Amino acid sequence: MTNYTLVIDTSAGTTVAVFENDQLLAEVNHDESMKHAEQIGVAITQVLAQAKIIPSQITQVVVGRGPAPFTGLRIGIAAAKMFATGVSAKLFGVCSLDAIAWADISSRSESNLPVLVTADARRSEHYWALYSGLSKSGAPILVDGPGVMKPAALEERFAAQDYMITNKKISAADLGKVFIAQQKDGTESTVVDALYLRDPDAVAPKVLRDFGKKVSG
């Protein structure tokens, strides 16, 4: 059976991708971190067009759960839920930091040091998670976190151990690779609750209604 997977992440910018089984067909990225509501529907339409498939062909939807600020993250999760419901696709969630870990670790050929992933949490704080490497199937192995801390506190927490640090951009293509590896491991998750890790910065706007009607119609 062929699985077409739509991957969505709005924990930083807006990034979406489509896979046919484990092959990436298309990816669309918008870097603006304050325009998720305007970009998400357009990005999904664009990526489906580039992949040359229609919404009803999607069998799986994967969404990044953060951690990230409240408003942007919620828009991506709402879009994923709406799309999955509209086309009767299975819905899965992945920690967004896993995508950064996968991109960094899979590109390294020599170092066996743990990798500390960080991302901007605003309020002069960092989201973080520590990974020891990849599983046999290629899924990142989480050993600590995720959490949110001031940079000085984070440095103090890991002062006694050696590690590599990365803060790459989150990519839907990388998030999809993590999900594919998790499926091979049997560790994929249907939990899509947002990882906020602290009180929200703002209340999420009402968005995506027109796009939801378009998907289900």
pLDDT category at 204 given cuts 50, 70, 90 is very low
Q: Which of 149, 166, 183 represents a domain boundary (last residue)?
A: 166
pLDDT at 214: 60
Pairwise CA distance, residues 120 & 166, whole Å: 12
pTM, to two decimals = 0.89
Lowest mean pLDDT among 109-113, 123-127, 129-133: 109-113
Q: Identify the CATH number of the domain in which residue 82 sits.
A: 3.30.420.40
pLDDT at 161: 92
Measured between alpha carbons, how far apart are the two ends of the chain, in Å? 25
- C-alpha torsion angle, residues 78, 85, 80, 62 (rounded to 10): 140
The tokens 């901007």 sit on which residue? Answer: 120
* Residue 190: burial class (beta carbons within 10 Å; 0-12, 13-18, 19+): exposed
216 pLDDT exceeds 90? Answer: no
Number of domains in the chain: 2
Q: How many CB atoms lie within 10 A of CB 140?
A: 28
Mean local confidence (pLDDT), 63-80 = 94
94 pLDDT exceeds 80? Answer: yes
pLDDT-above-70 percentage for the chain = 91
pLDDT at 71: 84
Determine the 3-state secondary structure of 102 from DSSP: helix
119 pLDDT exceeds 70? Answer: yes
39 lies in the same domain as 140: no
Residue type, 77: I
pLDDT at 112: 86
Burial code (b: 16+ CB inside 10 Å, e: under 16) for 83-106 equals bbebbebebbbbbbbbbbbbbbbe
Q: How many CB atoms lie within 10 A of CB 81?
A: 16
215 pLDDT exceeds 70? Answer: no
pLDDT 10s digits, 2-49: 999 999 999 999 999 999 999 999 999 998 877 899 999 999 999 999
84 lies in the same domain as 181: yes
Mean local confidence (pLDDT), 161-179 = 96
177 lies in the same domain as 208: yes
130 lies in the same domain as 155: yes
16 lies in the same domain as 75: yes
23 lies in the same domain as 109: no
90 lies in the same domain as 183: yes
pLDDT at 118: 96
Q: Which domain holds residue 142?
A: 98-166
Mean local confidence (pLDDT), 52-63 = 98
79 lies in the same domain as 13: yes
